[in-house]
Structure formats: structure tokens, C-alpha cells
Amino acid sequence: MRLKTFLLGALILFLLALPSFAGKYLLYMTIHILLLSVFALGFNLLLGYTGLLSFGQAGFFAVGAYASAKILLVIPSLLMGTIAGVVAGGIAALILGYLCVRHSRIYFSMLTLCFGMMIYSIAWKWRDVTGGDDGLVGIPRAPFEIPGIFSIDMNSMGNYYYFVLVVSLIAIFILYRIVNSPFGLTLKGIRDSENRVAFAGISIRNYRLLSFTIAGLYAGLAGSFLPPLENTVTPPLAHWTHSAEPVMVTLLGGIHTFSGPIVGTILFYLIKDIIVRFTQYWLIWFGSIVVLLVLVFRGGVVIFFTEKIWPLLKRT
């Protein structure tokens, strides 16, 4: 336990010190890692804790990204953009989730896939609002400010990195508290045996909807990080292939551990970054490696290390 706290502290210190020695590219990559971590952690609240596999999370990610972009184009305030992204992602998840959570297993997955693609086609066709296939361009990286109190310029990559880091850490901490709370335990119960939870006097549907909405809030938050970073948002963000990213990294890291999605995300970017240096057909290689890792590390990389490697090290 003490070792775990020490490692966590060291990691956070490392992340805080990163801009002092890292170049722009590494910071850019780390922002992407944080972004996908938040996205995948929210997704895993559904998969690992509630037992629902959603293929439509990119839809809520895109809603968050577009909402944040729209706000930033009108009001140059980073905080407003982030809040808009979170709220929009949550509301979209609440509405569509209401229709999805009456089903489970494959039926739920197919419904989320459909609704996700519906958001994709809206982003594609509703030219007046979304800019169609051009997307929204020229989104400013607005300063982080509360008028009259303080204002921090975000033009340097380092400052924006700190913003994303702090917001992500807060979000991750809150989610950690959620999964270790009574609500989190009840979700795990729903995953293992719906009927038994119903006979504890709990409305399965409402709890699933709440879990779905929280996942939507996290997808929206992750989405809101993107426009200020890339200065543009485009419809492929909502495509189902983008929904596969959190699925993949979560399976890689492990669905039954809290840190699984984070570890999976780091591996994802490491592998991707190395392969693209050698070949443009990186997806083929990447796919093969993921298949291999999932086969070798059953239950995910994290479980493999905590249950197989760690006891070995302890003994010697």
C-alpha cells in the first residue's frame, strides 16, 4: 500500500516536472494520453463496473468537442469551453442513454453503435452548425480566466499541458472515489447479477442510466480537451472507429482494475509511436500486437503484473 502511494506520488511529480525538460512533441503526446485516459476511464465505468459494452462513446466525445469548439469560437474562455463540453456530453448521454439502458448485452451495444453513428451523420450533414466535412476550424486556444480575478495565457504548449493535467487528475480522482463508493459497489452488483440487485430494492435501469451519463460526462470532458489543442474538429471524431479506441486500450490494460485504461492508453501511444516510424501500415502491426498482448496478458496488463509478476518479485 505504501509502495503504491509512493509510485503514484512519483508519477504525479514526474508529470508536473515534464514541461521543464520535455519538448513540444512529448507534451503534445502526453496531452493525448491524458485525454484518452479520461475518455477510457469513463468508458470503463460502463464496461468494467456496470457490465455494459458501449460502442457509441465517440458520439459523446464528439458532442463535447463540438460544443466546446462552438463556445470557444464565440466566447474566448477555456473554462467555458470545457464546461460546455462536459455538460453537452452528459446531456447527450442522458437522453440517448434513456433509450439504451432498457437493454443489456449485445442489444445495448448495437443501440449505442447506432446512436453514435447518428451523431456522426449529424456532424456530417448539418453544415450550418457543424461545418459539415470541413468541420470547425480556427478554434482559438483561449486563455484560462475568471474575469476580474485571474487570467492565464494558454498559447504555450506547457501552460495548456498543465491545464489538461490538473483537470484530468481531478476527474480521475473523482472517478476513483465513485468506483469505491456505495454507488460503485452497486454498479458491480448489477454487473454480476441484475436480479439480485433488483431484489435489494434498486432500480437497475436508473442506476445504469446514471452510470451511462457519468461515462458521457467523461467522454465530453475528453472531447473538450481537443479543440484548443488541434484548433479544429471534424466529423470522424464521432465515427465508430473512434469509439473502438477506449474499447481497445481498456481491454489492453484490463477491465477489472481502475488503472487498466490508463496503462492501456500509455501502451497504445508507445506502440503506435514506435511503429509509425517504420511503416505507414502501422494499423496492421498495431492490431497484431494488441491481439498478442490480449492473448498473453489475460485480464489485462495490470492484472498480469499485480497477480503474476509482483508476487514473484516479492518472494525473491
Partner 1 sequence: MGELLRTEKVRKYFGVVSAADDIDLQIGEGVLTSIIGPNGAGKTTLINLLTGNVLVDSGKIFFYNEEITHLPIHKRVKKGICRSFQIMNIFPKLSVFENLQIPVLSLLNQSLSFFKPLRRHTDVNERVEKLLNEIGLTDKKDLAAGTLSHGDQRLLEIGLAMAPEPKLLFLDEPTAGMNPVERVKVLENIRRLSKEKQSTFVIVEHDMDIVFSLSDRIIVLHRGQILADGKPDEIKQNEDVRKVYLGEEIFWEKV
Interface positions with partner 1 (CB under 8 A) = 174, 177-178, 180-186, 188-189, 192-193, 195-204, 207
H helical segments located in 193-239: 194-198, 204-230
CB of 178 to partner 1, least distance (A): 5
CB of 156 to partner 1, least distance (A): 34
For partner 1, give the closer residue by CB, 195 or 316: 195
For partner 1, give the closer residue by CB, 42 or 56: 42
Q: How many CA atoms lie within 13 A of 197 on its CB side?
A: 21
H helical segments located in the chain: 2-21, 24-44, 57-74, 78-100, 105-125, 127-130, 157-179, 182-192, 194-198, 204-230, 240-253, 260-275, 282-296, 301-304, 310-315
Rg over CA atoms, the chain: 20
For partner 1, give the closer residue by CB, 105 or 177: 177
- Of 113, 64, 70, 81, which is closest to residue 243 (Cα–Cα)? 113
CB of 306 to partner 1, least distance (A): 16
Which residues does 29 contact at the CB level (< 8 Å), separation at least 6?
269, 273
For partner 1, give the closer residue by CB, 200 or 313: 200
For partner 1, give the closer residue by CB, 154 or 251: 251
CB of 255 to partner 1, least distance (A): 12
What is the DSSP pairing of strand 232-233 with strand 136-137?
A: antiparallel
For partner 1, give the closer residue by CB, 169 or 275: 169
CB of 205 to partner 1, least distance (A): 9
CB of 108 to partner 1, least distance (A): 19
Which residues does 202 contact at the CB level (< 8 Å), separation at least 6?
186, 190
